[in-house]
Structure 1
Amino acid sequence: MTTRTPADRYDQAAEYARAQLHFDSKAYADAARILQPLVAAEPGQLAARLLLARSYYHSAQLERAAAELRQVLDQDPAESYAHLMLGRTLERQGRADEARPHLRLAAAMNDAFA
């Protein structure tokens, strides 16, 4: 196992911030390219994985978005935003029956999603 140094953590934080800037600028595919190695290096980092899923969603990479959102929900089944995004992703794919339970859960967990 590789020991992570403070410099490694700083580099990852800087890359995450750079990805967030690309996302905020609507350069979603660029944000995804930056986030992919971060998520691979730190698979338990849910914030990076959620931003990657959102980047995929907004760049119409819906299968990839769904896969990342399922990973988030495997790690944290109570993540209401991931349920909302997975529901919307499935809806966009024309899979309303699969989307419905996730959208209901999101609404039940967070009134803002109702």
Structure 2
Amino acid sequence: MAYLSLKEINKSYGSKVVFHHQDFSFSRNEIVFFVGKNGVGKTTLMEIIVGLNQIDEGEIILDKRDLKVPYDLSSREKFSFLPTEDQLIDFLTARENLSYFAEIYRIKKYQDK
């Protein structure tokens, strides 16, 4: 049984179709690599999975629950994503960046020491 399923997902950017009725499924604790040429949708798929990008059609199911963007906190806590480009804000210190992202992602466990 899949822990995470993407069923019949469609995603386009204007006339560029990235996914057309695609299915993906992942088991719990599975390590997955996305390999392919530039522009085939690897980053888009990861952004969809973690809730940073929205599908045009289809469904995303995590542990038997439908996910809708924006994901609730309990769903967001189950994902990690390290993009190829950093998302840090240049004029903030490392500690300020941590505090900022903890605040916008509503991470209550974060303690600035």
Does the alignment reach a TM-score above 0.5?
no
Q: Which has the higher contact order (CA 8 A, sep 6+)?
A: 2
TM-score, normalised by the number of residues in structure 1? 0.29
Larger helix share, 1 or 2: 1
Larger radius of gyration: 2
TM-score, normalised by the number of residues in structure 2? 0.29
